[in-house]
Amino acid sequence: MAKYNPLMQFGNAMMIRLLQSRWHRLLSSSTMLVTFTGRKSGKRFTTPVNYLQDGETLYTLSSRHRTWWRNLRGGAEISLRLRGEEMPATGEVVEDDAGVAAQLSVYLAKRPDYARFLGVSFDAGGQLNRAEAGQSARNRVMVIFQLKQEERLHLKIIS
């Protein structure tokens, strides 16, 4: 279980407020809000996460010691606040080391600047160091969000 960190809680609260405001553009090109229902409590929670978007699919990495992503195990209906707009989506968690390492390769192919943060390097030919990627995967999970396009279209027609 993650340790309580009041500084992180304060920072997250400030990011949530900013991402819900008209000034969301300061952060929303790389940070979004994920709103989900707790599996045990039934309460709604919102957490800010960094993301990578590829069409209707969004990816985020999280440390294994964090707890928010556990609510998405087995798939979950969630809401994303993406670039100032609420969007329905589903969330899935990749937890196994091999699966995370494979997703990490895809992620870093699109965001090579993130490799340094993850402790992963590329060789002279631009190939990912697989041993380092495997090591990094042991400490992380990959959360994959799929936007629900048909529901987004329906919401726009109604509004």
> Which stretches of 20-110 are DSSP H helices?
97-110
Confirm or reject CATH 2.60.40.420 for domain 6-158, answering yes or no: no
- In total, the chain counts a number of residues equal to 159
Separation of alpha carbons 59 and 127, rounded Å: 21
Give the pLDDT band of residue 157 (cuts 50, 70, 90): very low
Contact 11, 19 (CB under 8 A): no
pLDDT at 151 over 70: no
Separation of alpha carbons 108 and 155, rounded Å: 33
pLDDT at 75 over 80: yes
* pLDDT per residue as tens digits for the range 27-63: 888 899 999 999 899 999 999 999 999 999 999 999 9
| Across 142-149, average pLDDT | 93
pLDDT at 87 over 60: yes
State the residue for tokens 């629900």.
148
Which pLDDT score is estimated for 11?
81
Nearest-CA neighbor of 108 among 132, 79, 139, 72? Answer: 132
Contact 35, 90 (CB under 8 A): no
Q: Which helix (H) or strand (E) holds 17?
A: helix 6-19
